[in-house]
Amino acid sequence: MAEIAPEQGMVALKLSNYRDWQPGLDRVKVDAPSLYVLAPLDAHWSLEGSAVNDAVSGASPRFHSAVSGASKMDDSRTAGDLKLTHYAERQAWSVGVASSGEHDYRSNTLSGEWRVASEDNNRTWNLGLAYSDDAIGSTNDPTLDEHRRTWQFAAGVTQAWSPVDLVQLNLGASIGRGHFSDPYKFPDARPREREQYTALLRWNHHVEALQATLRTSWRLYDDSYGVRAHTLDAAWVQPVAPGWTLTPMLRYTTQRAARFYYDPVYDPVLGAPFPPGFGNRPYYSADQRLSAFGAATAGLRVDWAIDSQWKLDLAYERYEQRAAWRVGGDGSPGLAPFSARWWQLGVSRSF
């Protein structure tokens, strides 16, 4: 279809809940209500924005995800964004701003995007650019006053391969300079530069006989820390009754560890949590997110179009992470299994 401004506005409210845990340890809980608004301004312009508040509580993980009874945390994050889009013949461009703030972290982002379609509208190219400025503090260290500045680039193409097939390729890069160490994990020292690169390939196939759509994707991630990850994703969108749609999904990720991640084997003199040879190494981190692992996610989404204006949706996902599930090499040893689940309830109205 041609690139045109939306003819209807929309208001959507989402209620999300997240929880993760390890054997015998409840860790983090997050409640996040959010609001999204889309407003057509005229035949060529639209304005959209969202706001979210994250209420975080639980036990704060330390080195290698160990949790102490004294490491309880309660935090709140408020974030919002606005995007203005102009639609012209076979193309559209947009500019956006975003801001996020909590007691020890603030982030501001300016972004721009451009899309252009071929004359037959079977192919669309997109380009994107964003700049973020983050201010970083710490409750544990009131003197910490650091910054991180990041440029992000994106480019992609979407092609209608056949009447029932849609393919897309997106390439992305993020170049950051500044503070990347985690002020709440000790010891943690990371390079002050980080380059991240992604390639995302999507294929959607519509099955006429079932009036269903298979959505698949493969994502490659690589960064200057040495982390490399592959993610495979598949979802089946199946109408089951007038107005009702079920979407089961599966996702698998395998990841290589960062070069400076160290396993839970500690310096023979200093002991935990210090890595072997502490003091002679420029960079080190015990952050489990930088380890080598495999992870699987299963989920289900239910959508109900009540009428032409009102819609409800409910989604649930369960995540399991294990070092032994890594494909392409051994996972990081000595890490406890990690589990998480999240659900989301949404309601929207068009006008």
CATH (domain of 31): 2.40.160.40
Task: Answer yes or no: is pLDDT of 88 > 80.
Answer: yes
Q: Quick: pLDDT tens for 275-328.
A: 999 989 999 999 999 999 999 999 999 999 999 999 999 999 999 999 999 998
What pLDDT was estimated at residue 70?
A: 43
Task: Answer yes or no: is pLDDT of 69 > 60.
Answer: no
What pLDDT was estimated at residue 4?
A: 79
The answer to whether residue 212 is domain-embedded is yes
Of the candidates 60, 63, 27, which has an alpha carbon nearest to the alpha carbon of residue 189? Answer: 63
What pLDDT was estimated at residue 89?
A: 87
User: For residue 332, what are the CA distances in angstroms to 20, 60, 147, 216, 300?
Assistant: 20, 21, 31, 28, 30
The answer to whether residue 1 is domain-embedded is no
Query: Domain range spanning residue 150?
Result: 10-350
Q: Quick: pLDDT tens for 130-187.
A: 999 999 998 878 899 999 999 999 999 999 999 999 999 999 999 999 999 998 888 8
In whole angstroms, give the CA distance from residue 128 to residue 111.
Answer: 7
Strands, E assignment, 23-90? 25-40, 45-61, 67-88
Q: Quick: pLDDT tens for 239-257.
A: 999 999 999 999 999 999 9
Domain count within the chain = 1
DSSP 309: S
Handedness of CA 91, 95, 101, 106 (dihedral sign): positive
Burial (0-12, 13-18, 19+ Cβ within 10 Å), 70 = exposed
The answer to whether residue 2 is domain-embedded is no
State percent of the chain over pLDDT 70: 96
The answer to whether residue 5 is domain-embedded is no
The answer to whether residue 335 is domain-embedded is yes
Count the Cβ atoms, other than its own, within 10 Å of residue 88: 12
- Do 229 and 258 touch, CB atoms closer than 8 A? no
In whole angstroms, give the CA distance from residue 84 to residue 24.
Answer: 47
Supply the mean pLDDT for the chain.
94
The answer to whether residue 338 is domain-embedded is yes
The answer to whether residue 3 is domain-embedded is no
Count the Cβ atoms, other than its own, within 10 Å of residue 206: 15
* Helix, strand, coil tally for the chain in percent (to 5): 5, 70, 30
The answer to whether residue 266 is domain-embedded is yes
Q: Quick: pLDDT tens for 210-241.
A: 999 999 999 999 999 999 999 999 999 999 99
* pLDDT confidence tier of residue 74, bands split at 50, 70 and 90: confident
Task: Answer yes or no: is pLDDT of 199 > 70.
Answer: yes
- Chain centre to alpha carbon of residue 301: 18
